Amino acid sequence: MLPLAGERLLKAWESGMVSDPVRRPLVLLAFAMPDATQTSLEEMSIMKRNALLLRLWHATFGSPLRGLTHCSVCGRPTEFSADLGGLLDALHEDAQSVAMWNGCVVKPVNSRALLRALDMKDVAEQERALLLGCVEDGACVTKDSLDELRDVVSMQNQDAEMTCRIACAECGVVNDVDLDPAHFLWLAVKHCAASLLSDVHEIASTYGWAEDAVLAMSAVRREAYLERIGVEVLA
């Protein structure tokens, strides 16, 4: 798992900016796992994908997972952190959660099924496409059995959803926060990319160096140059 840093970070950010929410986490993983194929990324379960996104967070930003949420009652912003080890233990990423239903093999939800659902305009058709994407033989699914399949798929993928409870310091209300690794990782990547671009602009403007030369520096060296620039400005 390669960390997203320097040029790799900016390329991942550029590609993510023009991607939809389903493809975006796969884009980030593709830059961190250059040996992985697009097919393998699309076909892995959402649980496995989320586990890899958490590992990418750790490789890039360290531990724990940090985020910001707002109280559902008073709107007060609250920063929170979650232990990555505990989240990874809860995901059971290596479990083979394949179920049998109505004589068919039901696979966990993956990104390919989500992408297929996105192609549908009607909400009901989107749900049907998603459910059928989890079944190897769609012939076993009838209109009357769709509700049963929905229950099977929901139970099979319940561990892929993570939440934490955070008490608001302002009004005391306990809020359930959805811990979506794709969402929080993307927010962190965007913030880090914006900060890196600002660093490149300041250093390049001062010394006349090319972008690739600045990006090739370690974060420690860039910070040293920025401190020197700050001293010269104050002088």
Arithmetic mean of pLDDT over the chain: 89
- Residue 79: how many other CB atoms lie within 10 Å: 9
Residues 6+ apart with CB under 8 A from 217: 6, 225
Q: What is the pTM of this model?
A: 0.87
So what's the pLDDT on residue 135?
A: 87
Residue-wise pLDDT tens digits, 43-93:
999 999 999 999 999 999 998 888 888 888 899 898 888 888 888 887 765
Amino acid identity, residue 168? C
Q: Is the pLDDT of residue 219 over 80?
A: yes
Q: Is 174 left (phi over 0), alpha (psi -120 to 50) or beta?
A: beta
CA 4/CA 196 separation, integer angstroms? 12
Determine the average pLDDT of the residues in 207-223: 94
% residues pLDDT > 90 (the chain): 52
Three-state SS for the chain is CCCCCHHHHHHHHHHHHCCCCCCHHHHHHHHHCCCCCHHHHHHCEHHHHHHHHHHHHHHHHCCCEEEEEECCCCCCEEEEEECHHHHHHHHCCCCCCCEEECCEEECCCEHHHHHHHHCCCCHHHHHHHHHHCCECCHHHCCCCCHHHHHHHHHHHCHHHCCEEEEECCCCCCEEEEECCHHHHHHHHHHHHHHHHHHHHHHHHHHHCCCHHHHHCCCHHHHHHHHHHHHHHHHC
Residues, the chain, total? 235
Q: Is the pLDDT of residue 1 over 90?
A: yes
Sign, CA dihedral 211-7-80-69, equals: positive
DSSP bridge partners of 82: 65
Q: Is the pLDDT of residue 27 over 90?
A: yes
Q: Is the pLDDT of residue 214 over 60?
A: yes
Residue 10 and residue 197 in contact, taking contact as beta carbons nearer than 8 Å: yes
So what's the pLDDT on residue 92?
A: 64
% residues pLDDT > 70 (the chain): 95
Domain ranges of the chain: 196-234
Residue appearing with tokens 């004589």: 103
Residue-wise pLDDT tens digits, 100-114:
888 888 889 999 999
Residue-wise pLDDT tens digits, 7-19:
999 999 999 999 9
